[in-house]
Amino acid sequence: MIHRHKMLFLSLLFIFLGTSTVYADPIRLMPLGDSLTYDNTYADDEKPRPSGIRTGYRSHLWYMLKDANYSVDFVGSQRAGEAIKPPFDPDNEGHPGWTSYEIAEKVHGSLVKYQPNIILLHAGTNDRSTTNPEGINQILNEIDYYEETSGNIVRVYVALILDRKEKDGRIRIFNRRLKALIASRITNGDNLVLVDIYGKVKLSSDHYVDPTHPDKYGYWKMAKVWYHALMTPYTGSLHAFPYTLVNSSYIHWVNVNESSQTVQFMADIPDSGIIF
């Protein structure tokens, strides 16, 4: 067998004069998704808990952000967790049982009404009939449309979704395809950040309350990953750079370190080469 492509490993240091948005008011953050955003379990389908005690990752994230003096206002049409002590902002856009396609159908109205600056998107767990993240693509298209028609800029943090208690091959494939989708959209200028909930929230079976939903410890781990993503400086050029050199089909992996302003990636070199 003749190997026509050479492999390239690059570790590059970038110096960027970045820009940041300064908000006079608290940052309007919309937790967007399904039951893992709202906090619903299979048991709630039979005997629902009061909405006031449902928090998911949101309460943990709120406390972390407040401890860091991050001025934030959670927004959305749903309220869950208002009875929790110490109190946190219970507003969210979590809809138990909804597929990503259902979220896409409804999200524009919520964007218009609540005008978020930031969205945390964890959706696709209920897309059981497909491993295609087209529903996420449609959500992002709706957000783009909202930006175009309103003039408001929204940064979207898109999660590779949490695995189930019993490892789910469908979710693994879904996340792999979602990762490629987000990389392509970033290359085309979308204001997106990929958040690896799937890879960084590794839970034992003891930390699930049912086959799909984590316990409080699991939600705390989710909050830590969201928090780290929110507190990490964002440089879109870093994330897009490898894909400006070579088609994504040739790239094996990419590692972006915002703190050190470096990007590493491994890729095959196509016959057409790479031009710097």
Do residues 168 and 265 both lie within one domain?
A: no
Do residues 101 and 202 both lie within one domain?
A: yes
Do residues 199 and 104 both lie within one domain?
A: yes
Do residues 48 and 109 both lie within one domain?
A: yes
Res 25: pLDDT: 77
Q: Place 6 in a pLDDT band, splitting at 50, 70 and 90.
A: low
Res 269: pLDDT: 79
Neighbours of 36 (CB within 10 A): 26
Q: pLDDT by residue (tens digit) across 74-100?
A: 999 999 999 999 999 999 999 999 999
Which amino acid, residue 104? Answer: A
Q: Side-chain half-sphere of 138: how many Cα atoms within 13 Å?
A: 15
Do residues 246 and 132 both lie within one domain?
A: no
Do residues 181 and 275 both lie within one domain?
A: no
Q: How many domains does the chain have?
A: 2
Q: Place 264 in a pLDDT band, splitting at 50, 70 and 90.
A: confident
pTM above 0.85, yes or no: no
Q: Strand locations in 16-166, DSSP E?
A: 27-33, 72-74, 78-79, 91-94, 118-122, 155-159
Residue 87's domain is classified under what CATH number? 3.40.50.1110
Mean pLDDT score, 215-236: 91
Res 23: pLDDT: 45
Q: Is the predicted pLDDT of residue 179 greater than 80, yes or no? A: yes
Res 140: pLDDT: 98
Do residues 187 and 272 both lie within one domain?
A: no
Element spanning 8, H or E: strand 6-13
Do residues 62 and 8 both lie within one domain?
A: no
Q: Which domain holds residue 211?
A: 21-234
Q: Strand locations in 75-226, DSSP E?
A: 78-79, 91-94, 118-122, 155-159, 192-195
Share of the chain above pLDDT 70, in %: 82
Q: Is the predicted pLDDT of residue 5 greater than 50, yes or no? A: no
Do residues 69 and 153 both lie within one domain?
A: yes
Do residues 268 and 250 both lie within one domain?
A: yes
**Cα of 181 vs its chain's centroid, Å:** 13
